[in-house]
A and B are shown apart, each in its own frame.
Chain A
Amino acid sequence: EAQVTQNPRYLITVTGKKLTVTCSQNMNHEYMSWYRQDPGLGLRQIYYSMNVEVTDKGDVPEGYKVSRKEKRNFPLILESPSPNQTSLYFCASSSDRLPTYEQYFGPGTRLTVT
């Protein structure tokens, strides 16, 4: 089954404790992206990647890192999480190099930073 998976689905952590949210897709997509969803703000892009070893900042990259060592994986790293990073996070992938076609979304990761 074609899908985007994220782990963990739920995470509660404390300020400053490094964490990684994994994202994996099995559709051989080149484009992958991370979004955060906050009430009243919709989804905002954090980082994106057009191919292996190619990543770039989205609209809200501060406090986040990503890497793209393999085509299928695109982990999101929070080196020193803060409470304002409490949010719902979505990973997405697309078959096109540009996100002008359908993006497939993962189920989301709800992160709480205390």
Chain B
Amino acid sequence: AQSVTQPDIHITVSEGASLELRCNYSYGATPYLFWYVQSPGQGLQLLLKYFSGDTLVQGIKGFEAEFKRSQSSFNLRKPSVHWSDAAEYFCAVAGANNLFFGTGTRLTVIP
């Protein structure tokens, strides 16, 4: 069965610092992987997705993620965080009929 684990519930970083949010998945076949961001009071917005090919995926807002099959991971990174990046981030893997979401990581950005 598919599942997604986001081990960090809450992360705090300083503005301008680098960021890495962890995501581990469980899936039998080649996974379709996603990162979504949820700003306060908003719906979910797709940051990036991985289907196949290049394992380093570029997304919107300066985010990127790297698919590592050997580690069953799909970590999200950003080299320099902006205050507007404060939000909740969800990793997801596509199943046959739905998306399986992780429990989310809340990002706090301090000046």
Q: Are B98 and A58 in contact (CB under 8 A)?
A: yes
Nearest residue (CB) in A for B36 is A105
The range of chain A's interface size is 20 to 34
Name the contact of B96 in the complex, choosing from A90, A98, A108 (C-beta under 8 A).
Answer: A98
Q: Are B98 and A33 in contact (CB under 8 A)?
A: yes
Nearest residue (CB) in A for B90 is A42
The range of chain B's interface size is 20 to 34
Given contacts A58-B98, A98-B97, A100-B32, contact A107 B90 (CB under 8 A): no
Does A48 count as interface, using CB distance less than 8 angstroms? yes
Nearest residue (CB) in A for B96 is A98
Given contacts A90-B43, A105-B44, contact A41 B103 (CB under 8 A): yes
Given contacts A40-B103, A42-B101, A43-B101, contact A100 B43 (CB under 8 A): no
Sample of 9 more A-B contacts, CB < 8 Å, known A33-B98, A44-B101: A42-B101, A58-B97, A99-B98, A99-B99, A100-B32, A101-B49, A102-B46, A103-B46, A106-B43
Which 3 pairs of residues, A with B, have the shortest CB-CB distance? A105-B43, A42-B101, A45-B98
Can you pick out 30 interface pairs between chain A and chain B where the beta carbons lie within 8 Å of each other?
Answer: A4-B43, A33-B98, A35-B101, A40-B103, A42-B4, A42-B90, A42-B102, A42-B103, A42-B104, A43-B44, A43-B101, A48-B97, A50-B97, A56-B97, A58-B97, A90-B44, A92-B44, A98-B94, A98-B96, A99-B95, A100-B51, A100-B94, A101-B32, A102-B46, A103-B46, A105-B36, A107-B42, A107-B43, A108-B42, A108-B43
